[in-house]
Structure formats: structure tokens, C-alpha cells
């Protein structure tokens, strides 16, 4: 490869990373067709030169997922993983993408096995991979979870605290590990309370009181719900709404058997439902849930303080998505000015919040959304 070819390849990759970041993470695409077309052209040109290029194959699968072709994305990722001479870092990139696609399909056992393989391929944060794998198995209804799967789930959860190696990146341990430590502390307290209430046996593990798994919670951080197949979205919404409604009814009746018996879990439920309804799309219900999530964030446990930021980020995304959906009927500037101003207001509120877990990831999504809002304003002459 000549120096010119190498420079062109790096330039294409840099542009691809930028475009894919917006497509996969921002939550809105101000000009989706242009982005998808640009990404498709870069991938196809690159694969003509490097037909076994792992990173390009990975991006091809991501594009299939963005376009709603989830089964095709799985096939492409699995095919790429079987190719010879796939270097370790690229293989872990393919594997990590496959983890989330399988989870989005509701293939929890397969997703768990895929996350476990990540620990063999990548040294970034084994506790995170083990926790995600265990929570995928926990997503299986207990009546459907085999004794082998239950034993594996427990073994994986047991590995989490013993796997914290305190690796540091820029002077700090991985943000996901700080998150996990807080989450385990939160659920230990809940499990102890449930033992005291007779809901759990003495000596119960911390994860036995978990009703919204780590996999579902981190899906909110990493914008996974935008890329769920519609049937899986409806299934997720149905399960979570039933759980939330039963818990709220039990609380009103003074019963002691609420699954979600903390304001933190209720706020998280509303935030996830809001994100799911944006993707369905049902914007009215999305706004109802996100508004409730934001209202509940005052005074939450430190482990859930990030919900104040995420509930605002998703409300900003919602305003942009509403504007996009209405464009077919109305495209006047004042309408868009109102929608974009509403989105910017929520982003402004988000960026002045005090520090919270994994704020870098949330703020990077907010910055991507700002870029898109500015591009839309320029296109409209606002």
C-alpha cells in the first residue's frame, strides 16, 4: 500500500467513525439518508480494496442494523468472526457488536455466551463483561432458565467483585467498574431489606433483588434501544410496564411485595420506557415517561444520579425526532425553531449538572446531538 493509499484509508476510517458515531449514538440523524449513503459508499469502496477488512465488515454489519436488517447484521458479524487472520483487537470489536445485537433480539443465552467470549478477547474490563453476561442470563424468565444457566449466572456474578483489577486509564479506573461497584452496593442494601421482610432467604446474594438488569441499564447509556427490532421493543415495553404498574399498585395498596420499591428503580423504568417509545415511535408516551423520570431524579442515590442527565438527553432527542416526524406535514421555520430550541434547552440543563457516573459517554452523545442541531439550523437558515 502506498503512502497515498494509506492516507486515504485513514481518512476514510476517520470519516466513517464520525458518521457511525452519529448514526449509532446521537439518537437523531438530521439527514439520515445522506449519512447512510455516505457510510455505505465508504464501506463498499473499502471492501473492494480490502475484502477481508475486519473493521469494514464490522461497519457493514452496523449499517445493516441501522437499516433494521438485524438478522443480516448477525450473519455478517458471525461470518466476519470466522475469517482467518482476524487480529485480536478487530475480533473483539466484531464480538462486542454481536453481543448487543443478540441482546436486542432477545437471544439472552446467546448474548451471555458472546459477552463471556469478550473476556478472552479483550482485557478492557472483565467485570463489565461478566456482569453483562450474567444479567443476560438473568433476563431469561426464571421458569425458563435451566439449572445449568442459573448456576452459570451465579458463577458469573460471583466473578465480578473478584475481577476488579483497578486498571487505570488516564489516572482513573474504567467508569463502568465504578458504576458496577455502586450498583452492587445499592442492591446489597435492597437484598438485605428483602431478607428482613422475608422476601429472600438469609444469605441471599446481592443480585437476587435485581429487577432491572445491568444489561438493560447499560443499553440506555449506549443507545441500544434505538436499534432494537420492533417486536423486541414491544416485548421489552410490555414486560417493563407490567412490572412498573404492579409495583406502583402494590405501593398504593400498602403491600410489601413491590419489585421496584425504590424511587431509583422507578425512575430508571420510566427512562427506559421513554427511550423505547421514541424508537417505536410513540412520542406522546415517550414524553410522559421521560418527564416522570426527570421529576423523580431529585435526591436519588448517588448510584443513579446519572438519570438526571439521561432523562434530559432523551427529551432533547425526542424534540428532534418529533420535528423530523412532522416535517412531512409542516416544514415552516418557526415550527423547527421551537423544536430545536426545546432540544437545546434540555441539553443546556444536562451540561450544567454536577458529575455523575459515565458522564463522558452521555456528554459525547449530547455533543453529537448539538452538532446535528446546528447543522439543521444552518440548513433551514435559522
pLDDT band at 3 (very low <50, low <70, confident <90, very high): very low
CB under 8 Å to 244, separation ≥6 — which residues?
Answer: 260, 266, 269, 270, 273
Looking at per-residue pLDDT, the higher value among 124 and 102 belongs to 102
CA dist., res. 361 & res. 282, Å (int): 26
**Whether pLDDT at 382 is above 60:** yes
Helix-, strand-, coil-residue percentages of the chain, each rounded to 5: 75, 0, 25
Gyration radius of the chain over CA positions: 21
pLDDT digits (tens, 9 = 90+) for 113-171: 999 999 999 888 899 999 999 999 999 998 999 999 999 999 999 999 988 876 665 66
Residue 122: all three cell numbers together: 479483550
| DSSP 8-state class, residue 48 | H
Cβ atoms < 10 Å from Cβ of 251: 15
CA dist., res. 203 & res. 347, Å (int): 44
C-beta separation of 25 from 12 below 8 A: no
Q: How does DSSP assign 120-139, residue by residue?
A: HH--S-HHHHHHHHHHHHHH
Residue 82: all three cell numbers together: 470466522
Residue 227: all three cell numbers together: 436499534
Compute the mean pLDDT over every residue in the chain, rounded to the nearest whole number: 90
Residue 11 is predicted with a pLDDT of: 66
Residue 119: all three cell numbers together: 473476556
**Whether pLDDT at 2 is above 60:** no
pLDDT band at 5 (very low <50, low <70, confident <90, very high): very low
CA dist., res. 219 & res. 279, Å (int): 13
Q: How does DSSP assign 241-281, residue by residue?
A: HHHHHHHHHHHHTT-S--SS-SHHHHHHHHHHHHHHHHHTT
pLDDT digits (tens, 9 = 90+) for 285-329: 999 999 999 999 998 998 999 999 999 999 999 999 999 888 766
Cβ atoms < 10 Å from Cβ of 189: 14
| Range list of H helices, 50-107 | 54-66, 70-81, 88-104
Residue 345, burial from CB neighbour count under 10 angstroms (0-12, 13-18, 19+)? middle
Is the pTM higher than 0.75?
yes
- In sign, the C-alpha dihedral spanning 205, 210, 216, 220 is negative
**Whether pLDDT at 46 is above 90:** no
| DSSP 8-state class, residue 381 | T
CA dist., res. 84 & res. 286, Å (int): 45
Q: How does DSSP assign 146-209, residue by residue?
A: -HHHHHHHHHHHHHHHHT-----BTTB--HHHHHHHHHHHHHHHHHHHHHHTTSS-TT--GGGG
Residue 30 is predicted with a pLDDT of: 81
CA dist., res. 333 & res. 381, Å (int): 8
CA dist., res. 210 & res. 265, Å (int): 10
Query: Average pLDDT of 170-194?
Result: 89
| DSSP 8-state class, residue 300 | -
Out of 53-57, 244-248, 312-316, the most confident range is 312-316
- Angle 14-360-310 (CA atoms, 0-180°, nearest 5)? 115
Residue 77 is predicted with a pLDDT of: 94
**Whether pLDDT at 8 is above 90:** no
Residue 10 is predicted with a pLDDT of: 58
Query: Average pLDDT of 226-249?
Result: 95
Amino acid at each position: 500500500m502506498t503512502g497515498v493509499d494509506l492516507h486515504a484509508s485513514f481518512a476514510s476510517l476517520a470519516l466513517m467513525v464520525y458518521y457511525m458515531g452519529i448514526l449509532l449514538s446521537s439518537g437523531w440523524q438530521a439527514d439520515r439518508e445522506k449519512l447512510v449513503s455516505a457510510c455505505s459508499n465508504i464501506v463498499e469502496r473499502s471492501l473492494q480494496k480490502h475484502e477481508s477488512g475486519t473493521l469494514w465488515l464490522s461497519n457493514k454489519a452496523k449499517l445493516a442494523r441501522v437499516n433494521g436488517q438485524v438478522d443480516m447484521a448477525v450473519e455478517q458479524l458471525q461470518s466476519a468472526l470466522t475469517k482467518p487472520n482476524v487480529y485480536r483487537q478487530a475480533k473483539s470489536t466484531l464480538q462486542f457488536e454481536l453481543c448487543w445485537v443478540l441482546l436486542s433480539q432477545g437471544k439472552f443465552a446467546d448474548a451471555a455466551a458472546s459477552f463471556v467470549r469478550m473476556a478472552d478477547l479483550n482485557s478492557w474490563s472483565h467485570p463489565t463483561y461478566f456482569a453483562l453476561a450474567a444479567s443476560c442470563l438473568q433476563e431469561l424468565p426464571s421458569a425458563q432458565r435451566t439449572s445449568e444457566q442459573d448456576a452459570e449466572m451465579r458463577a458469573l456474578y460471583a466473578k465480578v467483585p473478584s475481577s476488579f483489577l483497578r486498571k487505570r486509564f488516564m489516572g482513573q479506573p474504567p467508569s463502568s467498574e465504578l458504576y458496577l461497584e455502586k450498583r452492587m452496593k445499592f442492591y446489597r442494601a435492597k437484598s438485605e431489606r428483602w431478607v428482613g421482610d422475608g422476601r429472600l432467604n438469609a444469605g441471599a446474594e446481592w443480585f437476587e433483588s435485581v429487577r432491572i438488569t445491568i444489561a438493560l441499564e447499560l443499553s440506555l447509556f449506549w443507545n441500544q434501544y434505538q436499534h432494537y427490532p420492533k417486536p423486541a421493543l414491544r416485548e421489552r415495553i410490555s414486560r417493563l410496564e407490567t412490572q412498573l404498574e404492579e409495583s406502583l399498585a402494590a405501593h398504593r395498596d400498602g403491600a410489601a411485595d413491590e419489585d421496584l420499591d425504590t424511587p431509583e428503580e422507578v425512575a430508571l423504568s420510566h427512562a427506559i420506557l421513554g427511550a423505547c417509545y421514541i424508537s417505536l415511535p410513540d412520542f406522546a408516551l415517550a414524553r410522559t415517561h421521560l418527564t416522570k423520570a426527570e421529576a423523580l431524579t431529585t435526591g436519588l442515590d448517588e448510584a443513579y444520579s446519572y438519570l438526571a442527565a439521561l432523562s434530559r438527553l432523551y427529551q432533547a432527542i425526542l424534540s428532534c425526532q418529533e420535528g423530523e416526524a412532522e416535517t412531512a406535514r409542516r416544514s415552516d421555520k418557526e415550527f423547527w425553531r421551537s423544536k430545536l430550541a426545546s432540544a437545546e434547552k434540555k441539553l443546556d440543563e444536562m451540561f450544567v449538572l454536577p458529575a455523575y457516573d459515565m458522564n463522558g459517554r452521555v456528554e459525547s452523545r449530547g455533543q453529537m446531538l448539538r452538532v446535528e442541531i446546528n447543522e439543521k439550523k444552518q440548513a433551514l437558515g435559522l
